Structure 1
């Protein structure tokens, strides 16, 4: 019976963590998009729809950038031997 290694190879471990990050990206996006709804304005303060809209588009852009970086890292050659 062959002994199995206790730890994964560094490249394989890194690839698994990148896949985990890609799976968590939609959850992060949902949390980021819900945040403006949870921000309660102070009493007497008017809520600015423009500020909330800018926040949503900035969060959307960051999610797109994060997805692009993850795809680039996952599609890079090497680390294929799981």
Structure 2
């Protein structure tokens, strides 16, 4: 019988973390698109002015949230580069 290899695939913690952060950075626009379509699903109620004000407030809230998430991811990616981490070339 063949025994499984004892030396499995090993990824360094820093490169694994960097790749996951890069994946998260790639998913932020997709998350933004999904979150921005949510007001389209809200049922219309009586006062159209209140509904549109709520949708605009929600839209700008999502926008600020995406900026903050992107800044955090960018900070961690830049700090990893400054520490001499992997360059991300494949």
Tell me, yes or no, whether TM beats 0.5: yes
The number of aligned residues is: 77
TM-score, normalised to structure 1, is 0.82
Unaligned runs of 5+ in 2: 1-6
Unaligned runs of 5+ in 1: none
Question: 1:1-82 to 2 correspondence within 5 Å?
Answer: 6-41=9-44, 45-47=46-48, 48-76=51-79, 77-78=82-83, 79-80=85-86
C-alpha RMSD of the superposition: 1.9
Q: Runs of 4 or more off by more than 3 Å in structure 1?
A: none
Higher relative contact order (CA 8 A, sep 6+): 1
Structure with larger Rg: 2
TM-score, normalised to structure 2, is 0.75
